[in-house]
């Protein structure tokens, strides 16, 4: 869950790879998955679809116990707002959701008024982040 991801856990990220355009997405779900490699497209075993994933630099160390690397994966479920705008998340967002416009390598990302289903805040407007028209 996004609130449980620490900057230290993602400090070795060097790039975020997006499989879909995120401009029109109010939020994406993010999780830290245990993966066998630092780079490359990870396997995806959830309902819904993978939106993107992080690549790690060579300094990232594998877990001693499992030999895996913890990498962020970004995803959406079939009942998320992008496919069901009037559904469960018409307002509000899941706990692990973040606004994709706030994501960058080694940056956690955060919820915004937009990701929660509301209008853009003054802070978003000052940063030049606008809702899609």
How many whole angstroms separate alpha carbon 118 and alpha carbon 27? Answer: 12
- 123: helix, coil or strand? helix
Q: What are the start-end ranges of the H helices in 6-133?
A: 122-126
* pLDDT, averaged across the chain: 88
pLDDT at 39: 96
pLDDT at 52 over 90: yes
pLDDT at 84: 94
pLDDT band at 122 (very low <50, low <70, confident <90, very high): low
pLDDT at 132: 47
How many whole angstroms separate alpha carbon 125 and alpha carbon 130? Answer: 6
Task: Read off the pLDDT of residues 61-108 as tens digits, 9 standing for 90 and up.
Answer: 999 999 999 999 999 999 999 999 999 998 889 989 999 999 999 998
pLDDT mean over 41-62: 95
- 37: helix, coil or strand? coil
Q: Which has the closest alpha carbon to 10: 58, 55, 40?
A: 55
pLDDT band at 26 (very low <50, low <70, confident <90, very high): very high
In the block, tokens 């802070």 appear at: 123
pLDDT at 2: 41
pLDDT at 130 over 70: no
Copy the structure tokens of residue 111: 């919820």
The three-state DSSP-derived secondary structure of 8-23 is HHHCCEEEEEECCCCC
pLDDT band at 41 (very low <50, low <70, confident <90, very high): very high
């Amino acid at each position: 869950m996004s609130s449980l991801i620490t900057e230290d856990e993602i400090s070795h990220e060097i790039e975020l790879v997006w499989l879909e355009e995120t401009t029109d997405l109010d939020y994406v779900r993010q999780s830290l998955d245990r993966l066998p490699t630092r780079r490359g497209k990870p396997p995806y075993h959830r309902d819904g679809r993978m939106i993107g994933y992080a690549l790690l630099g060579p300094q990232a160390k594998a877990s001693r116990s499992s030999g895996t690397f913890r990498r962020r994966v970004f995803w959406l479920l079939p009942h998320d707002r992008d496919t069901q705008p009037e559904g469960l998340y018409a307002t509000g967002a899941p706990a692990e959701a973040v606004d994709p416009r706030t994501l960058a390598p080694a940056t956690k990302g955060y919820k915004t008024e937009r990701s929660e289903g509301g209008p853009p805040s003054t802070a978003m407007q000052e940063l030049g982040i606008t809702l899609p028209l």
